[in-house]
Amino acid sequence: MADVVLEINDLHVSVDDVEIIQGLNLTINKGEIHAIMGRNGSGKSTLANVLMGHPDYQVTSGSIVYQGKSLLEMEVYERARSGIFLSFQYPSVIPGVQVGTFLRKSVNSIKGEHAPSAREFRKLLSKKMAMLDMDKSFLSRYVNDGFSGGEKKRLEILQLLLLEPSLIILDETDSGLDIDALKVVSEGINSVLEDSACLVITHYQRLLDYVKPNYVHAMIAGGFVKSGGPDLAHKLEANGYDWLEPQSEVKT
């Protein structure tokens, strides 16, 4: 029997009384990678924000079950501690807070009594930074302050490697990455996927060459209009989304 991590049923979400997500259904099992592709404004990032508990998004109907429990009844910090990780499209700058301090406090906050000792953390941190080809001088810099796009994404993936979440949500993680950085970041993501479920939100197929999805969903106007395997991502990259619009159906 499949180990269901996330189950979304008939989800409707509004922002300022405007419905963005309209009757969305999705089930992700442990070890599966699901990719969502769609135009700007289709509802992709709205879904990510709802899963993480952003207060600006109102769930008007439907359900979200995470590891057998109602996600909608959980506070944001409870979602994070239960193993949900969101890689932001635009990571925040935190002036005055060093990366090393930020990472240590993040791990302690999420893992609680299961957090590694200071010595174990330093050893784990060195190992994970080596995986991402990150110099130790990185730890003394302020979080995302003056970082390039690639550096911001590497820091997020470093957090991912340290936290080892059960549900990984990647919101346009490939944004701002050159080819070399994309490969390194993808290797980091792949290293934790065996024991996790993953939802990848992206505009482009290139990330999916490295983080290979089991399923791809095309999203238009707040719902999935077509789902398939990896080949669907190639078709969307080549042909866009017009062919999926209702008016583009071929009449016989």
Q: Tens of pLDDT along the chain (252 residues)?
A: 469 999 999 999 999 999 999 999 999 999 999 999 999 999 999 999 999 999 999 999 999 999 999 999 999 999 999 999 998 878 889 999 999 999 999 999 999 999 999 999 999 999 999 988 899 999 999 999 999 888 888 899 999 999 999 999 999 888 778 888 888 888 888 988 888 999 999 988 888 999 999 999 999 999 999 999 999 999 999 999 999 986 544 333
| Count of alpha carbons within 13 angstroms of residue 176, beta-carbon side | 15
Helix (H, G, I), strand (E, B) or coil at 170: strand
Predicted local confidence at residue 185, as pLDDT = 84
Question: How many whole angstroms separate alpha carbon 125 and alpha carbon 39?
Answer: 37
Report the interhelical angle of 179-190 vs 149-163 (nearest 10°): 10
Q: What is the secondary structure of 234-250 as a DSSP string?
A: HHHHHH-SGGGSGGGPP
Predicted local confidence at residue 93, as pLDDT = 93
The two tokens of residue 148 are: 């390039």
Contacts of 124 (CB under 8 A, 6+ apart): 116, 162
Predicted local confidence at residue 45, as pLDDT = 92
Asked if 88 contacts 156 with a C-beta cutoff of 8 angstroms, the reply is yes
Give the closest residue to 227 by CA, choosing from 236, 235, 218, 239.
Answer: 218
Tokens 């499949």 — which residue?
A: 2
Predicted local confidence at residue 192, as pLDDT = 86
| Helix (H), strand (E) at residue 195 | none
What Cα–Cα distance (Å) separates residue 98 from each residue in 103, 121, 184? 9, 16, 23
Domains of the chain: 4-92+166-248 (3.40.50.300)
Helix (H, G, I), strand (E, B) or coil at 157: helix
